[in-house]
């Protein structure tokens, strides 16, 4: 990790607030000696939680008081207008001022996106931000965007998502030419709406490693490894929630099956190592943490219902992206693409 990296934590965000955000962040502080944290929120509440964790006087921890909290049902417009001293807003302000290298929040997604865009502004050449995260697959994992920032995107927007996503995958996974697929209802060229067909032409005429249309199975279990899958936020978010629901259903069905009687319970003990390995591979907590790409700063969104393990993973993603300076790399790549288009 980069020496002296500082992360602003929206301590009050999410369903559980400081009960999760503080112990999770402290675990990351323990794992990375070069990390510094700024906990943003109610100073009294944060101090009490830090004292309970035995970290009240740590030199690598700072508390930044914020008098307001963004609720999960607050509208983005209301937050921008009336909650300028919320823990979310203050944390993002710290990124803008340079006091923090990144912000991590489990708060209201719409409010976080609107606030981050208003405070940090967009990278020149990028029209809209996009949410990118990783999903488990038979090949390890796949990066997918947009996962909900834009419910309706043009072909140009999809192309911009591909440019940004490719740079992130290059930096995070160390892949020089990551493969890129465009999510569609079929792999054939004649399938899909005009939006994806026009986007496909833009990708084909670029130097991105575009492999064509991919179906929904490619998200987790396609026949070919795809490093990055691009879609609009409406489709991406529905697909993400469907996958999360399927994972929960599988877990529930397994638990129900193994708890039927004494024999099935004994069988569960025998196969426990296999089940543990299976759970580890598909555990959504280990994939928690989505990046808002396209902004002039690093903002990581944690799931609102994240527990300590999940939120810690989001913080670790921020650490990696700080070390790789993702916004700078995206900005440089976008300028290169714009220059090539002019010629």
CATH code of the domain covering residue 117: 3.40.718.10
- Residues 123-130 have a mean pLDDT of 93
Domain-located, residue 341 = no
> Residue 45 sits in which domain range?
1-123+294-325
Residue 236 clears pLDDT 90, i.e. is over it: yes
Say yes or no: 55 and 105 in one domain.
yes
Which residue in this structure is represented by tokens 């008098």?
Answer: 67
Instruction: Check whether residue 101 and residue 22 sit in a common domain.
Output: yes
Least confident residue range of 1-10, 100-109, 257-266, 312-321: 1-10
106 and 168 in a common domain: no
In a domain, 269, yes or no: yes
Write down the pTM of the prediction.
0.90
| pLDDT cut 70: percent of the chain above it | 98
What local confidence, expressed as pLDDT, does residue 1 receive? 41
Asked if 96 and 171 sit in the same domain, the reply is no
**Please, are residues 323 and 3 in contact by the beta-carbon 8 Å criterion?**
no
Q: How far apart are CA 130 and CA 157, in angstroms?
A: 9
Residue 207 lies in a domain: yes
Verify that 96 and 140 share a domain, yes or no.
Answer: no
56: Cβ contacts below 8 Å, ≥ 6 apart: 47, 50
Whether 166 and 272 share a structural domain: yes
In a domain, 188, yes or no: yes
Domain check: are 131 and 259 in the same one?
A: yes
Q: How confident is the model at residue 129 (pLDDT cuts 50, 70, 90)?
A: very high
Distance, in Å, from the CA atom of 336 to the CA atom of 169, rounded to the nearest integer, reads 18
Give the residues across from 131 on adjacent strands: 292
- The verdict on residue 218 lying in a domain is yes
Residue 333 is assigned to a structural domain of this protein: no
Q: How many domains is the chain built from?
A: 2
CA distance 332 to 318: 20
Residues 157 and 87 placed together within one structural domain of the fold = no
């Amino acid at each position: 990790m980069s020496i002296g990296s500082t992360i602003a934590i929206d301590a009050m965000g999410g369903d559980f607030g400081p009960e999760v955000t503080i112990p999770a962040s402290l675990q990351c502080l323990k794992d990375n000696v070069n990390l510094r944290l700024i906990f943003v929120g109610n100073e009294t509440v944060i101090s009490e939680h830090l004292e309970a964790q035995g970290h009240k006087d740590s030199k690598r921890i700072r508390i930044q008081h914020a008098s307001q909290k963004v609720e999960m049902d607050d509208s983005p417009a209301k937050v921008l207008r009336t909650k300028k001293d919320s823990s979310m807003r203050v944390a993002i302000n710290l990124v803008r001022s340079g006091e923090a290298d990144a912000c991590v929040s489990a708060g209201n997604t719409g409010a976080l996106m609107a606030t981050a865009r208003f405070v940090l502004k967009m990278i020149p050449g990028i029209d809209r931000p996009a949410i990118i995260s990783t999903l488990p697959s038979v090949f390890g994992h796949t990066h997918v965007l947009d996962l909900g920032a834009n419910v309706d995107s043009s072909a140009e927007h999809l192309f911009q998502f591909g440019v940004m996503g490719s740079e992130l995958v290059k930096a995070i996974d160390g892949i020089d030419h990551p493969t890129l697929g465009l999510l569609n209802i079929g792999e054939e060229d004649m399938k899909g709406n005009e939006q994806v067909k026009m986007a496909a032409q833009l990708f084909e005429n670029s130097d991105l490693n575009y492999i064509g249309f991919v179906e929904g199975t490619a998200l987790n279990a396609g026949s070919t490894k795809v490093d990055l899958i691009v879609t609009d936020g409406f489709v991406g978010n529905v697909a993400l929630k469907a996958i999360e629901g399927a994972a929960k259903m599988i877990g529930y069905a397994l638990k129900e099956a193994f708890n039927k009687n004494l024999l099935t319970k004994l069988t569960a003990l025998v196969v426990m190592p296999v089940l543990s390995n299976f759970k580890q591979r598909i555990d959504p907590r280990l994939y928690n943490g989505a990046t808002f790409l396209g902004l002039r700063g690093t903002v990581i969104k944690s799931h609102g219902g994240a527990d300590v393990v999940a939120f810690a993973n989001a913080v670790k993603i921020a650490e990696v992206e700080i070390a790789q300076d993702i916004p700078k790399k995206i900005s440089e790549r976008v300028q290169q693409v714009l220059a090539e288009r002019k010629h």
